[in-house]
Structure 1
Amino acid sequence: MKLYIHKIAIILGLAILAVSCTDLDEETFGSLSPENFYNTEEEALASVAGIYQQLSYVQSIGDPWRIAEFGTDEFIVPGRASGGWFDQSNIDIMRHQVDPANATTGRAWKNIFQEIGTANAVIESLEQSPNSENLTAIIAEAKALRAYGYFYAMDFWGNVPLVTVARIDPNDLPQTTSRSEIFSFIESELLVAAEDMPSVNEVNRSDYYPRFTKESVYSLLAMMYLNAEVYTGTPQWQKAIEMCDKVINSGGYHLSGEVIDNFASNSQTNSPELISAFTNDPISNAGNNQFILYAQNALDQLKYNLPFVPANGYSTYQEALDRYGDNDARKELLEYGPQTYLNGEPLLMDNGEQLVLIPVQDLVSAEDNEGYKVLKYTPVGASFSGSNADNDYVLTRYSDILLTKAEALFRLNNNATEALNLVNEVRNRSNATSLNVLSLDIIEEERAREFIWEGHRRRDMIRFESYFNDTWAFKTTQTEEYRGIYPIPQEQITANPNLTQNPGY
């Protein structure tokens, strides 16, 4: 049975850390306890589904996803001349001017530590169950989900509190743990969890989807090792290769026919490329996808016959569009220039003129036609409940494994030929011209083309140092290196004076 992670409630008899690592308000779910619950795997899974629900918000249009994209050269949300969408906190992130009082990063912190707190409560409850010896795989799954939450916390803020209990003693509030220690904790948790979790080859894929497998864990480890030099000061390219090989050698994944297959509602469940994803079914009140609502131009209601008017918020830069060659199928996922209906007829505005999308000219007061659009989650074939689509959120794809291995191989300089072949495998799927040579710049650009708006770009730009050294529209100066991590929100330090603010802030 397909797991609708948003539909199954957490049924626990203990408090969870619901808002942040320093918010001690208790939130109780039901009256059952570990002693009288978890008699079956299904009962345990009902609780673990709640962790998936929290983690899915990190990859949805919520603030954690936004701060992974704001500040990059592929994501912009300008204020509109009509007065809509203006948010100084977002503009400050786009301009690399974040301070500890930033509301957007503050909400993202709460979202991520809510997921971690939920996981702590579920893990503790599962481990206290009299049936815990039969729940080894599910406990491992819950710990892998918690590790994912800590991965985002480490990536965004570097030095964060490490909490693994469901309740915090108000007389012993946690202190800041170094980024390298958080890295080691996540690595250890994931390696142990992978031992007890099933491989994609050991489950009925369509029934098990979208739960994590060994390969989901290996993919996160590969991503961590690729960024290990940023996180710990020590590169770990060989480990990244080893984790990629575990996924590749499983034989459980290959590239789908087209990139869009991984984001189209009617093909996601059967995509051979999706390693990790989160289900959405708004018609059944089981999650929803609002990318189409927030990203598309209002006139796309007519173009795609939508049951709502898109809000014309999320946009991308000219710099992102310019990366794609004209024969690259991935370019078709961007909307720019003169707009037409699907049948090719001009898409007309109220004044009778054709809608022409242009780059954002004014970050604070943009006109309605300013901002190119990224059709990451296509409305074609999707089902809607109001403005909510049923496209599943994509977390990890096989193409990321191929490009991760390619980059690690190239940086080690021990197999440039294999690295080139891996990059071309991804490019050829989208009809992009094969490359004859590689460079780090080429690899970074290829990742930007393949993973636009998938939450990778900020992390990639920091690793390649373009986050600091490059300039683009509205980011016109170099960025100080300390801004590679966000400041710990001031409200968290106020609530817990044991936390230490990150350097530079």
Structure 2
Amino acid sequence: MKLSNKILYALLLVFTISGCTKLDEEQFGRLSPANYYKTEQEALSSVLGIYQALQQVAHIGDPWRISEYGTDEFIVPGRASGGWFDQNNIDMMVHNVRPDNQAIGRAWKQIFQVIGTANAVIESLNSSPSAGNFKAVAAEAKALRAYGYFYAMDLWGNVPIATQARIDPANLPATNSRAEVFRFVEQELIAAAADLPSVTTVNRATYYPRLTREAIFTALATLYLNAEVYTGTAKWTEANAMCDNVIRTNAYTLEANTVDNFKATNEANSKEIIFAFSIDPSRTSGSNQFILYAQPALDQQRYGLPFAPANGYSTYQEALDRYETIDNRKKLIEYGPQTYLDGRPLVDARGVQLNLVAVKDYVSAQDNEGYRVLKYVPDGVKWAGSSADNDLVLTRYADILLTKAEALFRIGNTGDALTLVNQIRARSKASTLGTITIQEIENERAREFIWEGHRRRDMIRFGSFFNKTWTFKTTVDPVWKGIYPIPTEQLASNPKLKQNPNY
């Protein structure tokens, strides 16, 4: 079900009006701890604003896009027919990012809006006369803030840690090291897990989509999986332990088909989704615009859409080639001659069948260049203009299984790692592997999680971000390109920040 609590929808309007993006400004207007946070519902309504800010970071917003640009699964070429050309995007695609890149600058602001909003809410909750009753809600807010810092650390490495609602302009925060931010995120998530309810103790239909203890364990598993990149010290055993914390609940299992996670019915009844964002554009509660941005215009005819998609997001030949023909996941990539669902050729007004080919020119591509990923399918969607109501998925049980597989492989347990990878492959009717390699684990993650925001992080961890080439990315790179430069405008506004090396 969608997040339907009436008080949350009503108060959404308050946050839309009074929210802001600066850390040193009041976040929630005249609603003070003394006269407002008296009940759990009132406290929870403030946390809704953090969820909404994080949604923009994790999906569709600039932070999601810059986590996909520069990988071998995501390209947005300029079109010869006009539109989509953006030098900022092209620079990321070819690993030539400068501090004045506008997309990087927007992403920084969006991530720190999550952090700033969370700081204001946490301070208000802690100051409330009823603070003792809000322990779980405060843990929820701190976990969401930790998510914000995780993305900041992942993308920029060295960022300032600020936990106060208002920043003193005379005492701006200095840069913290990536290892320090890692420890902060780790400690905040561990503390939150102790205070949040387990999925086994709540009514999933009514509690969804809020964070559970298992959602925090999943975030910690991802944190530990990448610990060697972030801190120089591997934490494979810790990653495996966090996965086991989720697995032993017996609360999750794989859906029958991967695509089931991304349908309009992918909500509280899902057996696989661990953390998602509730989307209902008809009630101004979020927006899912994957189909708008990613599909070719003729998909309006194919799927009976109320709008023509904008023909933007595309994927590479390298991504398509990772799938076997028998792999059901390959069916969600549109490539080659296109047909209606009944098999008839999908043709334009001239009677010419749409034939999607690999991108040949990322500056001036033809409209049929670029394979498309139908990530969120239109089945059963209730449209509000061009916005779908598919809930946006952040983490799911497949990630737990593949994270555990990788952690086990890296500590020498290849047998169990192989079993887990084959469990994922069996769901999609892919062939059964007889042996497992670290390259195959990377490839399986790429196949399973295409466009879910994992690929850049995975490629950096496996090394392929630097030592491999693909279409338009034709040279190997030094490892310092694994983090983005601190945006120019942030350096100008806070002289205590330090630019990342070599930028």
**TM-score band w.r.t. shorter chain:** over 0.9
Query: Corresponding residue for 2:354?
Result: 355
Query: Corresponding residue for 2:217?
Result: 218
Contact 1:6 1:280 in 2 (8 A): no
Q: Answer yes or no: is 1:9 the counterpart of 2:12.
A: yes
1:458 to 456, 459, 481: 456
Contact 1:7 1:286 in 2 (8 A): no
Query: Corresponding residue for 2:238?
Result: 239
Q: 1:7 to 1:291 in 2, by over 3 A?
A: farther
After TM superposition, the structure 1 = structure 2 runs for residues 125-164 of structure 1, keeping only pairs within 5 Å, are: 125-164=124-163
- Aligned-partner residue type, residue 166 of structure 2: R
Query: Corresponding residue for 1:273?
Result: 272
Q: Answer yes or no: is 1:449 the counterpart of 2:450.
A: no
Cα deviation for residue 83 of structure 1 reads 2.0
Query: Corresponding residue for 2:388?
Result: 389
Query: Corresponding residue for 1:439?
Result: 437
Cα deviation for residue 434 of structure 1 reads 1.0
Work out the percentage of aligned pairs sharing the same amino acid.
Answer: 63
Cα deviation for residue 348 of structure 1 reads 0.5
Q: Which runs of 5+ in 1 are unaligned?
A: none
Contact 2:2 2:280 in 1 (8 A): no
Q: Distance in 2 between matches of 1:104 and 1:401?
A: 31
Contact 1:294 1:310 in 2 (8 A): yes
Between 152-161 and 281-290, report the one with greater CA deviation.
281-290
Q: Distance in 2 between matches of 1:407 and 1:364?
A: 37
Contact 2:143 2:192 in 1 (8 A): yes
Q: 1:157 to 1:267 in 2, by over 3 A?
A: closer
Query: Corresponding residue for 1:310?
Result: 309
Please give the TM-score of this superposition, normalised by the length of structure 2.
0.97
Q: Distance in 2 between matches of 1:268 and 1:79?
A: 35
Q: 1:320 to 1:6 in 2, by over 3 A?
A: farther
Q: Distance in 1 between matches of 2:267 and 2:324?
A: 26
Query: Corresponding residue for 1:82?
Result: 81
Cα deviation for residue 40 of structure 1 reads 1.1
Q: Distance in 1 between matches of 2:11 and 2:227?
A: 35
Q: Distance in 2 between matches of 1:8 and 1:157?
A: 33
Query: Corresponding residue for 2:258?
Result: 259
Cα deviation for residue 380 of structure 1 reads 1.8
Contact 1:78 1:85 in 2 (8 A): yes
Q: Distance in 2 between matches of 1:3 and 1:116?
A: 23
Contact 2:26 2:120 in 1 (8 A): no
Q: Distance in 2 between matches of 1:494 and 1:48?
A: 31
Cα deviation for residue 52 of structure 1 reads 0.2
After TM superposition, the structure 1 = structure 2 runs for residues 75-224 of structure 1, keeping only pairs within 5 Å, are: 75-224=74-223
Aligned partner of residue 237 in structure 2, secondary structure: helix
Contact 1:337 1:357 in 2 (8 A): yes
Superposed CA offset, 1:456-499 (max 9, x none):
00000000000001100010001121100000001000000110
- Aligned-partner residue type, residue 453 of structure 1: W
Aligned partner of residue 275 in structure 1, secondary structure: strand
Query: Corresponding residue for 1:292?
Result: 291
Q: Distance in 1 between matches of 2:165 and 2:29?
A: 16
Superposed CA offset, 1:344-379 (max 9, x none):
100012221211000011100001100100000001
Contact 1:157 1:485 in 2 (8 A): yes
Superposed CA offset, 1:64-92 (max 9, x none):
00001000000000000022000000000
Cα deviation for residue 264 of structure 1 reads 0.2
Superposed CA offset, 1:206-230 (max 9, x none):
1111100000100010001000000
Q: CA RMSD in A?
A: 1.4
- Aligned-partner residue type, residue 226 of structure 2: N
Q: Answer yes or no: is 1:496 the counterpart of 2:499.
A: no
Contact 2:27 2:120 in 1 (8 A): no
Q: Distance in 2 between matches of 1:350 and 1:37?
A: 58
Superposed CA offset, 1:272-312 (max 9, x none):
10000001111222211000000000000000000001000
Q: Distance in 2 between matches of 1:60 and 1:355?
A: 28
Contact 1:2 1:208 in 2 (8 A): no
- Aligned-partner residue type, residue 12 of structure 2: A
Aligned partner of residue 276 in structure 2, secondary structure: strand
Aligned partner of residue 311 in structure 2, secondary structure: coil
Contact 1:6 1:287 in 2 (8 A): no
Query: Corresponding residue for 2:324?
Result: 325
Cα deviation for residue 111 of structure 1 reads 0.2
Q: Distance in 2 between matches of 1:205 and 1:33?
A: 31
Contact 1:325 1:331 in 2 (8 A): yes
Please give the TM-score of this superposition, normalised by the length of structure 1.
0.97
Superposed CA offset, 1:165-199 (max 9, x none):
00001110010000000000000011011000000
Q: Distance in 1 between matches of 2:300 and 2:157?
A: 41
Query: Corresponding residue for 1:45?
Result: 44
Aligned partner of residue 12 in structure 2, secondary structure: coil
Q: 1:7 to 1:482 in 2, by over 3 A?
A: farther
Query: Corresponding residue for 1:400?
Result: 399
Contact 2:2 2:279 in 1 (8 A): no
- Aligned-partner residue type, residue 452 of structure 2: E
Cα deviation for residue 31 of structure 1 reads 2.1
Contact 2:69 2:75 in 1 (8 A): yes
- Aligned-partner residue type, residue 156 of structure 2: W
